[in-house]
Chains A and B, each alone.
Chain A
Amino acid sequence: MSEQKPTVAIGLLSGCFGCLMSFLDLADDLAEVFNLIEFRRCPFNDVRELEHVTVGMLEGALSTDHDMKLAKEMREKCDVLVSLGTCPSYGGIPGMRNFQDSKTICEDVYGRRVPDDEELPQLLPAVVTLASVVKVDYFIRGCPPTTEKIKETLVAILEGKKVPEKTRNLCVECPRTKESILTPRRGFLTQGVRSVMELDEIDPTRCFLEQGVVCMGLVTVEGCNARCLGDNMPCRGCMGPVPGVPSQGNKLIDAVATLIPSGALMFFEDSVGIAFRYTHAADESMRK
């Protein structure tokens, strides 16, 4: 007779499945994981009933009334609830719909024939974070989180421990070098602001800000090993702000205004979308 293994359920809110893909990237290590836990209702099997489980993971943003119902049900039926990915933790990409009210969005998308079948999920007035609705025990940040991070958190949960919190920004993990930022001098780092595609040559060794490219790494919490920076792309801030900072977007504005020409930034494509891309729904300045 086998020992009772901890049980895991995974619920899907309004997400893209990317976090689960990152989980599946455990690949060869998956067997190890399946030895430690037993999956109940989740996308990997056809268990329909949501029974009481040890660990519940929710992926995707809380955007519809169906999401709200599932979130509350999961909280009731799980001992430990995990907010998997940036979507439930901060609202994520779906959170950007909060710039507009839901009625206008539907009209924009569907024109005059907005579907209104009662079986369809109804959009909530705004995307909200999971933690604003139910108590969350663990947060796994990232869009998607790294496979290592997911494994680390699962192991911590099974051992009944906390995951040590990260408290610094991404610059500490970034392999790029800084020079002009560290030289006290009046004047901006560059003459203008560019998107990374506009650079004739992307210097792979130098800080993006010093090349005139907005990098969210400044206002993003460490923990992803700066993979994007290593692949010659600026950070987009998917891990969210350093815990305790109430608004990632506002912090970017405050920091970057003294570094690169803000006049140019104002005309830059979409400074609002860049600054608030992943965290608009969680932004304390915007919530009542």
Chain B
Amino acid sequence: MNLTIISKTVTDHFSDFDFSQLEKEDREIIPVDHPLDPEAVAKIYKEKQPDRVILALPDPLGHSLKEHGKLTTLIEHQGVNPAQIAFINLNEIFITAENSDDALSRLQTQLLLAEFRLENTPQYPLEIYPPEKELILLGQPPDKGFLEYLRENKVAFQSVLDTDSGDGAGVKIIEFQGFTGNYTLDWKQDSSKKQARGCALVIFPDSLTDEQKEEVGTALRYPMLNSTFLAPDNRRSHKNGVWLVQTLKELQTALLTIKPICDGKEVTTFIESATVDPTRCGLCGTCVKTCMFNASTLDTEQQTSVVDPAKCVACGNCVTACPTQARDLPSYSNSYMHGLMQSLHGFTQADGTRLLVIACESNGYAAVNHLANEKIKVSPSCMFLQVRCGARIESFLVPVTLKAGFDGIAILICARHECRNIVGSLDLERRLNLYRSVMKANRIEPGRLRIIPVSERKLDSVPAVLNKFADYLANLESPEGSIFSL
């Protein structure tokens, strides 16, 4: 049985919204107050024992960093696998729906999509292990107050590149890897190799030279920008463990997440990594070359490629690149990505220009969420779809979207240098620029596909671009004899 928990905020926007209209066989709807009380949700969960839960809330994944992670963690602590939880961001409806009926129709589409996704997400492997107790500090804290704060809060730590204690020179950071609460940092001091183990890595970027920043960024395979917004993004990735701290407040925010982990007896976590079907792997090596995190290797004895879960960040690039579909990603599986268009049928059959806006979970979706927070509306032509990263967007998705009845596709991804997965935006652009020649050969206007890089600091630029694109599509005529008329 699928349980949908939906925030009553909908009626703030559409006063005559009727929640019961969403119900059908096998789908129960429970409206809840806003802001959501996670304990209340846990209670509902215990009582109903549903097979799957859909949470329809404004900004459920905490892109505005409120209630970050708390909600899902609470549900996961009930023993629920993340594969059984789906989210609908009501903000998407608030920024596009024109009236109650429209809102209802969009929500019904979103529910179908969420249900389809739940059916096509395999269970995540569950790992239980004791956490490391120490924090690894990289660089010099801005003042003594930082270390004092850590001591006051009984957080043990180990320092690397701390110029006060004179070990700044001759340090070269090699690698950072691991899982929530259990990380290792490898570095070289002059010529001897060293290693630190910790529950998280806190970096003080202001104390690093530009050269050091670049080196650390390269070794961590992590874009080094001055913002903690980067830190807890993509909860399911191991990059949970890296925090950039410039102010005491940012350290406090980091500890809100870190402390419960390192103080706990054990970490219970669902680890998402790319999976491999060995029967389909031909040892071609594409995944090895594609992975920027060195998480992929070939095991010639076992005749298959192998994923190292300590390094894999579940970006999906190898899944998109794998020429035989041997690779898959639980949260954005092949069966989900290839089949999801049928769920959007209700939207594409409606009148008017239909524009699919695919947004990456980082900057792309932050821009979408930002619109609602600023009470900005966009063209009602828009329907939003989240992906992990630009890297997970297969070129196959483009024609399938147009075939489903959309007039165009906009892809919101991180600006190149801000991509958390290093080459996600870059590889997407490479793939789709190649695909444009296929569109031309099939007499499909390449202008129907637009890639929109989004900078973390310029989220405001997005609505104007989307509206302009929707106008362009509205005025575009379909040529006679287009491939889809065959």
Contact = CB atoms under 8 A, between A and B. Distances in A.
Interface of A: 98-99, 101, 103-104, 125-126, 167-172, 178, 180-184, 186, 189, 217-219, 222, 242, 244-247, 249-255, 257-259, 262-263, 265-266, 271-272, 275-276, 284-288
B403 to A, nearest CB: 7
Contacts of B486: 98, 101, 125-126, 287-288
B441 interface: yes
Interface of B: 279-286, 288-292, 294, 296, 298, 303, 317, 320-326, 338, 394-396, 398-400, 403, 423, 427, 430-431, 433-435, 437-438, 441-443, 481, 483-484, 486
B79 to A, nearest CB: 33
A164 to B, nearest CB: 11
Q: Which of A125, A219, A257 has the most CB of B within 10 A?
A: A257
Q: Which of B288, B322, B324 has the most CB of A within 10 A?
A: B324
A259 B431 CA distance: 11
Given A246-B338, A285-B403, A254 B441 contact: no
Nearest to B320: A254
Contacts of A275: 438
A184 B279 CA distance: 24
Contacts of A217: 284
Contacts of B286: 181, 218, 255, 258-259
Contacts of B431: 253-254, 257, 262
Given A262-B430, A288-B486, A169 B324 contact: yes
A259 B430 CA distance: 11
B442 A99 contact: yes
Contacts of A183: 288-289
B325 A181 contact: no
A167 B279 contact: yes
Contacts of B338: 246
Nearest to B483: A286
Nearest to A218: B323
A181 B321 CA distance: 13
Q: Which of B320, B398, B427, B483 has the most CB of A within 10 A?
A: B483
Given A184-B288, A184-B291, A271-B434, A244 B427 contact: no
List of 10 A-B pairs having minimum Cβ-Cβ separation, nearest first: A285-B399, A169-B282, A168-B282, A181-B285, A171-B284, A172-B282, A257-B430, A262-B430, A101-B481, A242-B324
B481 A104 contact: yes
Given A98-B486, A184-B289, A255-B321, 12 more contacts: A126-B486, A169-B282, A171-B283, A181-B289, A184-B291, A222-B282, A253-B395, A254-B320, A258-B286, A259-B286, A266-B434, A271-B437
Contacts of A247: 396
Contacts of B324: 167-169, 219, 242, 245
Nearest to A188: B289
B486 to A, nearest CB: 4
Nearest to A251: B323
B285 A242 contact: no
Contacts of A246: 338, 396
24 contacts: A99-B441, A168-B282, A168-B324, A170-B282, A171-B282, A171-B284, A181-B289, A182-B288, A184-B294, A184-B296, A219-B323, A242-B323, A246-B396, A250-B435, A254-B323, A254-B431, A258-B423, A258-B427, A259-B286, A262-B430, A263-B433, A266-B433, A271-B437, A272-B437
